[in-house]
C-alpha cells in the first residue's frame, strides 16, 4: 500500500480511511530518522514550523487506536518545543551495534556468494569504517562498493581467495583512497578509480616477483633478503642487531615488544628506505653466517666478487631492487621493491628466520 500526500490536510483523512474505526487492534505509526521532522535550527520563517507535534497527536486527530514510534539518533531534549510541552514519551534506549552484529547484518545481503571470504573482508575494514561512520546504511554502501574491488584479483586469476595477505596488498590503496574521500565529502567512485589505476603497476610487479621466487640463485635470494632488511631497519640499529646475533640472545621485555609492534605498523605505512651498497654487503655476510652455521659450512672466501656485482645488477634489471643514486657501484644507494609476503616466502625457502632480523625501532 502506497499513498502520496503533499499536505497534512490530505494525509490525515487518508490515514483515517485506511484504519477501521471499529478495529480493536492498535496501529503503530513508525517514523524513522525522526530528527528530520524537527524545525530547522535558527529558522523563524513562515512555513518552517515543525510538523512533529501533528504526528504525535495522530490518535486524537484521526480518532483511531494508534501509537506513534519515533526512531532517532538524538535524545528527546533535541525534539522538545513549546508545542510538545505536554507530551511525555516512553523512552527506550538501544545500544549501538557491535562489529559482530554489523557483520551479521551485512552478510545477509543477497549478492554475497562467498560468505566466508566476505566475513574476512568485513573483519579487516569494519574497525576503520565504524570509527568514521555511524550510519549503518553508509557502512553498507561503502562495504558493497569496496568488496567489488577486493575480489578483483581473484576474478582476474592473480591469487586465490585463501591468499588474504595478497588480497589486502592489492586492496589497501583503494581502501585508503575511499575512506579519505568519504571523510572529505568527495566522490568515492572517482577516488577508487584513481587508486585502481595506481595499483596496476603493483599488481604486475607482484606477479612478476612470484614467478621468480624459485628461479633465483641461492646467493641472489640471500642478497634480496639482505636488501629487504636494509630497507626496513634503521641503519643506526645494524651494529646492535647483528652483534646480538653473534652473542647471547637476550629476552625482550613486554614494553620493548609493544614498541616493536607499533613501530612495525608505522613502518608498513611508509615507503622502503634507501641503503648504501656497503651496508647491503655487511648484512648479506651476516645472513650467510646464519646459513653456514645452520648447515655447518665454513666459507673461506667472503670478498667482493664479480659474481656478487652481477647478481646485484640482475636484481636491479628484474626491478626487485631500484638504484636511487647515480654514484659508482660501490658508492651507490639502492631500495628494495620486495613486499613482505614474498620476502617471507624466500626466507622460508632458504631457511632464514627473517622476523628475527627486523628491528623497526
Helix 164-184 / helix 188-212 crossing angle, nearest 10 deg: 160
Q: What nine digits make up the cell of 233?
A: 631497519
Q: What nine digits make up the cell of 342?
A: 614474498
* Phi, psi at 34, each rounded to 5°: -65, -20
Please tell me the predicted confidence (pLDDT) of residue 297. 47
Q: How far, CA to CA in Å, does 158 sit from each of 154, 200, 206, 213? A: 6, 12, 9, 15
Please tell me the predicted confidence (pLDDT) of residue 48. 43
Residue closest to 89 by CA, chosen among 104, 110, 74, 99: 74
Per-residue tens of pLDDT for the chain, all 361 residues:
677 777 878 888 888 888 877 777 888 889 888 888 776 555 554 444 567 778 888 888 888 888 889 888 888 777 766 566 567 788 888 888 888 898 888 888 767 778 888 998 898 888 888 888 878 888 888 888 888 888 888 888 888 888 887 788 788 888 888 888 888 877 777 777 777 666 555 555 555 554 555 467 888 888 999 999 988 888 877 776 666 554 444 455 555 555 555 555 555 545 678 898 888 888 888 888 887 676 544 454 555 566 788 888 888 888 888 888 777 766 788 988 888 888 888 888 888 888 888 765 4
Q: What nine digits make up the cell of 113?
A: 556468494
Burial annotation 117-152 (CB, 10 A radius, 16+ → b, else e): bbebbbeebbeebbeebeeeeebeebbeebbebbbb
Please tell me the predicted confidence (pLDDT) of residue 41. 58
Please tell me the predicted confidence (pLDDT) of residue 254. 52
How far apart are alpha carbons 142 and 175 in whole angstroms?
A: 10
Please tell me the predicted confidence (pLDDT) of residue 161. 85
* Total residue count of the chain as it appears in this document: 361
C-beta of residue 66 within 8 angstroms of C-beta of residue 58: yes
Amino acid at each position: 500500500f502506497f499513498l502520496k500526500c503533499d499536505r497534512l490536510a490530505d494525509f490525515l483523512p487518508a490515514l483515517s480511511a485506511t484504519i477501521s474505526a471499529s478495529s480493536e487492534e492498535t496501529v503503530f505509526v513508525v517514523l524513522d530518522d525522526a530528527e528530520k521532522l524537527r524545525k530547522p535550527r535558527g529558522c523563524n520563517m513562515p512555513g518552517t514550523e515543525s510538523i512533529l507535534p501533528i504526528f504525535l497527536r495522530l490518535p486524537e486527530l484521526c480518532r483511531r487506536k494508534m501509537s506513534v514510534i519515533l526512531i532517532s539518533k538524538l535524545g528527546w531534549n533535541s525534539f522538545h518545543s513549546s508545542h510538545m510541552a505536554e507530551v511525555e514519551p516512553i523512552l527506550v534506549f538501544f545500544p549501538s551495534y557491535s562489529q559482530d552484529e554489523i557483520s551479521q547484518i551485512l552478510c545477509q545481503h543477497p549478492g554475497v556468494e562467498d560468505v566466508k571470504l566476505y566475513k574476512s573482508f568485513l573483519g579487516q575494514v569494519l574497525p576503520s569504517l565504524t570509527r568514521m561512520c555511524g550510519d549503518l546504511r553508509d557502512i553498507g554502501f561503502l562495504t558493497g562498493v569496496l568488496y567489488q574491488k577486493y575480489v578483483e584479483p581473484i576474478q582476474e586469476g592473480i591469487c586465490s581467495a585463501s591468499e588474504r595477505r595478497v588480497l589486502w596488498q592489492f586492496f589497501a590503496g583503494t581502501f585508503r583512497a575511499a575512506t579519505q574521500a568519504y571523510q572529505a565529502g568527495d566522490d568515492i567512485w572517482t577516488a577508487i578509480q584513481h587508486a585502481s589505476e595506481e595499483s596496476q603497476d603493483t599488481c604486475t610487479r607482484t606477479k612478476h616477483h612470484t614467478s621468480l621466487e624459485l628461479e633465483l640463485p641461492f646467493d641472489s635470494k640471500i642478497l634480496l633478503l639482505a636488501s629487504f632488511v636494509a630497507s626496513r631497519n634503521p641503519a643506526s640499529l645494524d651494529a646492535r642487531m647483528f652483534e646480538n646475533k653473534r652473542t647471547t640472545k637476550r629476552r625482550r621485555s613486554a614494553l620493548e615488544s609493544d614498541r616493536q609492534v607499533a613501530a612495525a605498523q608505522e613502518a608498513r605505512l611508509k615507503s622502503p628506505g634507501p641503503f648504501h651498497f656497503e651496508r647491503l654487503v655487511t648484512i648479506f655476510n651476516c645472513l650467510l653466517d646464519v646459513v653456514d652455521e645452520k648447515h655447518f659450512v665454513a666459507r673461506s672466501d667472503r670478498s667482493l666478487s664479480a659474481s656478487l656485482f652481477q647478481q646485484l645488477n640482475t636484481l636491479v634489471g628484474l626491478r626487485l631492487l631500484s638504484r636511487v643514486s647515480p654514484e659508482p657501484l660501490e658508492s651507490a644507494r639502492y631500495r628494495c621493491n620486495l613486499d613482505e609476503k614474498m620476502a617471507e616466502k624466500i626466507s622460508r625457502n632458504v631457511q632464514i628466520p627473517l622476523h628475527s632480523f627486523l628491528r623497526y625501532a
